[in-house]
Amino acid sequence: MAELGAISLWIALALAAYSTIGSVAGKLRLSPALVESAQTAMYAAGLALLVATLSLVVAFISHDFEIAYVAGHSDLAMPNRFTWVAFYAGNEGSLLYIATILSIMSAIAIWRSPEKFKDALPYTTAVLMLTLTFFVAVMAVMANPFDKLPFVPLDGEGINPLLTHFGMFFHPPALMAGLIGITVPFAFAIGSLLAGKTGDEWVDAGRVWGMVSWVLLAGGLLLGSWWAYTILGWGGFWFWDPVENAAFMPWLGITAFIHSIMVQKRRGMFRMWNIVLINVAFGLALYGMFMNRGGSVPSVHSFGASQLGWVFLLFLAIGVVVPFAIFIWRYPLLKSAQNLDSMLSREAAFLVNNMLLLAIAFVTLWGTVYPLISRLTNDEEITIARPFYDQVNGPLMLGLIFLMGIGPLIPWRKAGVAALRKTLLPPAVAGLATVAILAILGVHKEYALLAFGLASFVTGGILMEWYRGTRSRHRSSGENYATAFLRLIAANRPRYGGYIVHLSVVMVTLGIVGTSFFSIQKDVVLSPGESTVVGDYELVFLGTLETPKSNRTEFVSTVQVFRDGDLLDTIHTKRAFYPSFNMASTNAAIRSTPVEDLYIVPSENLPDGSVGFRILVNPLIWWMWVAGPVMVLGTVIALWPQKMRAPAPVPTPRRFAPGPRPSAA
Amino acid sequence: MDAETVISIFVGAVLAAFSFAVVGYAFLRGRQPLPAEFSPPETDDQALADIFDSITTLDLEFQLGRMPEADFQAQFQAYRVQAATVLRDQLEAGRGDPAWVLEQEILLARGVAENAVVCPDCSAAILKGTAACPNCGADMAPRS
C-alpha cells in the first residue's frame, strides 16, 4: 500500500500544480479547452488524494508496520475503530487529511458555483489548487505518510492514549476541515478580484462556504472543550492555550465575515470590508495551521517539534501579503452600491459586531504572541494567562451578546426610534426581570448578573420574534400553531436558522458564566470508606479496582453521591496508566444535569489504596454541550436551499395584484 | 517484489493514465477560442430575486409592527428603484418584453399604497387582507 499511496500523492501533486497553472494560463490566453482541462485536473487530484487516503486506511487496518507513520501511531492492540483517529494523529496523516478535505471542498465548490461567477472561476480554481499544491508538496517532500522504515517492526508504538476518546473522532477533523475550509470563500473573493469582478457575484458562494467553515470550527472548538473537560482531568474546558487560541481566532474572523457578507448580499454594501475580513480570516487560519506544525509556542495540541514550522511560516507570509496586494490593486474598483443610511440600522449593528469580533481576535493574538515578543525584546518570556483574557475579552464578549439581541430586531437601512423602542421593550423587560430575580435569589456578582440579563434579553427577543411571526401566520392563514411555526422557519431559513444559532450561543454563554463565576473545586485524598462534602453533595469513596489490560493498567474508583442524606448515584471514575507512553489518562465521572455537573476525577492513585480526587461542581455547563447540536441544526436550516424562485420577480400576487390607482398615496 | 507491491504499482499506473486521459480529453473536443471576455452571465434574474428577497424581509418586519409606515414606504421605494434599474437594464440589453417590464414597474409602484391599512386599535400600518393585526392581535376582518 505504501507504493500506491506514494504514487497517488505525486499524481495529486502534478494534477494540482497543472490545475493552478492551467487555470490562469487558460483564462489569460482565452483558451476554454485549457480552462476545462485544468478544472478536470482539479477533480482528478481529489480522486488521487482519495486513493492515497484509502491506501493509508488499508495500511492501518492491515497493520502494515513497514510504513513509518503506521508503526508510529498504531499497534496490534489498537481496535480498528481508532484507525480514523490514528489517521490524523500525526503530522503526516493530518496533512493528508487536510489535503483530501480541501480537494473535496474545492470540487464541490467549483461544481456548484453560481452561473454568474463562471467568468472568474478559473482564478478561484487557481487559488484553491495553489493551496492544495502547497500541502501536497509539503507532504510529498517533507512529511510523507508513506515513508518506509528500513526494517519491519513486530509491533507499532500505539496510539496516544489521550486520543482514544469519543470526542477525538470529531474534534480534530472538524477543526482542520474548518481551518482549511476558509480557503474556499477566500478563493472566491480573490478570484473575483483577479477577474475584475468587484461587485457581488462571489457573495452567495462566499456566504455558504463561510458558514460551512464556521460551523465546522465552532463544532470543533466545542468538541475540543468537551474532550478537555472529560479526559484531561483538570475540570476546565478552555485554557487559552496558544493552539486553542489559534483555532479560536479564525472562528472569530469568519463569524465577522458571515455577518458582514449578509449586508453585501442584501444591500450591496461593505464590499471592501468583506474582502478585508475574508483575508484576515484566511491569514488567521494559516496562522492556526502554522502554530500546529512547529509554531514556536509549545502546546498540548501541537504535533511536536517539526521542521515544517518555517515552511508554514513562509506560506503564512505569502498568504497574507499577496492577497492584500491584490486587494490594494483592485481597491479603486471596490465601491459599495450604497452608503450607510443611519447608525440605527442593522447594517450599523453588523459593523459594530465586526469590530468587536476583530477586537477579541486581536486581543487573543496579542496574548498569544506576547511571550515571543517578550523573549525577543527582553530575553525574558512573559506568559499571558487567563486573567488577561478574562479582563479584556470578557467585556467585549458581553458587548457582542448585547448586539446579538439588538441586531436581528433592527430593520435594514434605518430604524425609527419609536418603533425600535417598542420592539426592544419586551426583551429588555425580560433581561431586567432576570437580573432582578437573580439578585433577589442572592446572586450578587455584577458580571454574572449582566451576562444572565443579556442572555435573557437575547432569548426574549428571539422568542418574541417566533411568537409574533407564528401568531401572525396562525391568524392570517388559519394554520395551527405548530404548522405556523414550522412554516415560518421554512419560509425564511437564513433568518430563523440564524436565530437558532444565536440561541446556541446563549447556551454557551450560560455554561461559561456558570463555571467561571460559580464553580466549586475541592482537591482531597480519600481512603476507602472515607467521605467528603462539596457544595450540597456528600461523597463516599468505596474503593478502587485495579485491572491490568494489554497496554495499560486501569484503576476504577467507585464513589457514592448523596444529597440531603439520599443516595443520588453511584459513579465510577477511571485512571489508566500506559507504560509504553509513560503517561496516564483519566476519565472523569460526571453526573450531569441542566442545573449543574458534579465532576470527580482521580488525580493520583496512592500505594495504600487511597486516591487523590479533584471534585468540582460546575453550574450550567450542561448547556454548553447541548449547544453544539443546536448550533449545527441552526446552521443546517440557514444553509438549506430555499425553493427555486419563479422567474417572475413579483414577490406575491396578492400584494401586487393590478387594481385601480389609489386616490391618495 | 511481492504481489502487493506489483498490484500497488499497477493501480497507481492506472490512476496516472486515467488522470492523463481526463485532463487531455478537453483538448480533443476541439473547442473554439473564447472571445476577449467570457460572455456575460445572465445575472438579471438573480439580482431581481435578491431585491425581492429583501422586499419580502422588509414586508415581514413591517407586518411584525417593527417599522412605521413612513420608513416602510421609503425603503420600499428604494428597492423599487433598484428593481426598476435592473428591469431597465434588461430592457436595454434586449432581454425583456417592454410591455411586461412596464407592467411590473407599475405593479410595484402601486403595491404599497393599495395594500397598506391602519389597524383601528393600535394604529399600526399593516397589509390589507391580513386576518389579524400582527402588532396587537386585533381582528381585522371587515366590520359590518
Q: Is the model's pLDDT at A269 over the cut of 60?
A: yes
Quick one: A520 exposed, middle or buried, by C-beta within 10 A (0-12, 13-18, 19+)? middle
User: Mean pLDDT over residues A283-299, rounded?
Assistant: 75
Q: Is the model's pLDDT at A648 over the cut of 50?
A: no
Q: Do A118 and B40 touch (CB under 8 A)?
A: no
For residue B52, list chain A residues with Cβ-Cβ distance below 8 A.
Answer: 645, 649-651
A565: alpha, beta or left, given left = phi > 0 and alpha = psi -120 to 50? left
For residue A115, list chain B residues with Cβ-Cβ distance below 8 A.
Answer: 41-42
Using DSSP bridges, classify how beta strands A553-563 and A611-619 pair: parallel, antiparallel or unpaired. Answer: unpaired
Lowest mean pLDDT among A202-206, A455-459, B129-133: B129-133
Cell numbers for A57, please give them.
486506511
Is residue B135 helix, strand or coil? coil
* Phi, psi torsion values for A244, nearest 5 degrees: -60, -45
How far, in Å, CA of A630 to CA of A218, rounded?
12
Lowest mean pLDDT among A18-32, A455-469, A571-585: A571-585
How much is the pLDDT for B96?
58
How much is the pLDDT for B119?
64
Q: How far is A423 from chain B (nearest CA, A)?
A: 6
Band (B27; pLDDT cuts 50, 70, 90): confident
Band (B39; pLDDT cuts 50, 70, 90): very low
Task: Count other Cβ atoms within 10 Å, centred on residue A271.
Answer: 20
For residue B32, list chain A residues with Cβ-Cβ distance below 8 A.
Answer: 32
Q: Is the model's pLDDT at B41 over the cut of 50?
A: no
C-beta of residue A498 within 8 angstroms of C-beta of residue A630: no
A392-402 confidence digits (pLDDT tens): 888 999 999 99
C-beta of residue A103 within 8 angstroms of C-beta of residue A45: yes
User: Mean pLDDT over residues A464-481, rounded?
Assistant: 85
Among chain B residues, the shortest Cα distance to A470 is held by B134
How much is the pLDDT for A162?
77
Question: CA–CA distance from A206 to each of A160, A198, A302, A602 (Å)?
Answer: 37, 13, 30, 47
Band (B98; pLDDT cuts 50, 70, 90): low
How far, in Å, CA of A537 to CA of A564, rounded?
8
B75 in contact with A, Cβ within 8 Å: yes
Mean pLDDT (chain A, rounded): 87
Chains A and B: how many Cβ contacts under 8 Å? 195
Is residue A665 helix, strand or coil? coil
Task: Count other Cβ atoms within 10 Å, centred on residue A486.
Answer: 13
Cell 507499532 locates to A156
Lowest mean pLDDT among A15-19, A427-431, A490-494, A516-520: A490-494
Cell 461559561 locates to A512
* Nearest residue to A11 (alpha-carbon basis) of A37, A50, A60, A69: A50
Q: Is the model's pLDDT at A649 over the cut of 50?
A: no
How far, in Å, CA of A14 to CA of A513, rounded?
51
Question: CA–CA distance from A33 to each of A15, A121, B32 (Å)?
Answer: 16, 14, 8
Q: Is the model's pLDDT at A556 over the cut of 70?
A: yes
Q: HEC string of A575-633?
A: EEEECCCCEEEEECEEEECCCEEEEEEEEEECCCCCEEEEEEEEECCHHHHHHHHHHHH
How far, in Å, CA of A330 to CA of A362, rounded?
26
Lowest mean pLDDT among A153-167, A315-329, A629-643, B38-52: B38-52
How far, in Å, CA of B142 to CA of B130, rounded?
10
Is residue A557 helix, strand or coil? strand
Band (A609; pLDDT cuts 50, 70, 90): confident
Q: Is the model's pLDDT at A53 over the cut of 90?
A: yes
Q: Is the model's pLDDT at A331 over the cut of 70?
A: yes
User: Mean pLDDT over residues B92-101, rounded?
Assistant: 62
Q: pTM of the prediction?
A: 0.80
A131-142 confidence digits (pLDDT tens): 999 999 999 998
Band (B103; pLDDT cuts 50, 70, 90): low
For testing the chain B interface, which of A27, A28, A37 should be mutated: the one with the most B CBs within 10 Å? A37
Band (B92; pLDDT cuts 50, 70, 90): low
Higher model confidence: residue A376 or residue A500? A500
Element (H or E) spanning A434, and its range?
helix A417-440
Band (B109; pLDDT cuts 50, 70, 90): low
Q: Do B46 and A118 touch (CB under 8 A)?
A: no
User: Mean pLDDT over residues B50-65, rounded?
Assistant: 76
A150-194 confidence digits (pLDDT tens): 888 888 888 887 787 787 888 889 999 999 999 999 999 999 999
Q: How many residues does chain A have?
A: 665
Is residue A520 helix, strand or coil? strand
Q: Cβ neighbours of residue A561 under 8 Å, at least 6 residues apart?
A: A537, A538, A539, A567, A568, A569, A570, A571, A591, A598
Question: CA–CA distance from B113 to each of A499, A630, B87, B116 (Å)?
Answer: 32, 42, 21, 6
Enumerate the β-bridge partners of residue A554.
A547, A576
pLDDT above 70 as % of chain A: 94
User: Mean pLDDT over residues A367-375, rounded?
Assistant: 83
**What ipTM score was computed for the predicted complex, to two decimals?**
0.70
A533-554 confidence digits (pLDDT tens): 999 999 999 999 988 887 788 8
How far, in Å, CA of A108 to CA of A156, rounded?
37
How much is the pLDDT for A296?
54
Q: Do B26 and A418 touch (CB under 8 A)?
A: no
Band (B36; pLDDT cuts 50, 70, 90): very low
Q: Is the model's pLDDT at A646 over the cut of 50?
A: no
Across the interface, which of A15, A118, A656 has its CB nearest the CB of B19?
A15
A384-420 confidence digits (pLDDT tens): 778 888 888 889 999 999 999 998 888 877 777 888 8
A438-458 confidence digits (pLDDT tens): 999 998 899 999 999 999 999
Q: Cβ neighbours of residue A567 under 8 Å, at least 6 residues apart?
A: A560, A561
How far, in Å, CA of A475 to CA of B131, rounded?
6
Q: What is the CA radius of gyration of chain A?
A: 27
Higher model confidence: residue A373 or residue B125? A373
User: Mean pLDDT over residues A195-211, rounded?
Assistant: 88
Cell numbers for A526, please give them.
480519600
Cell 381582528 locates to B139
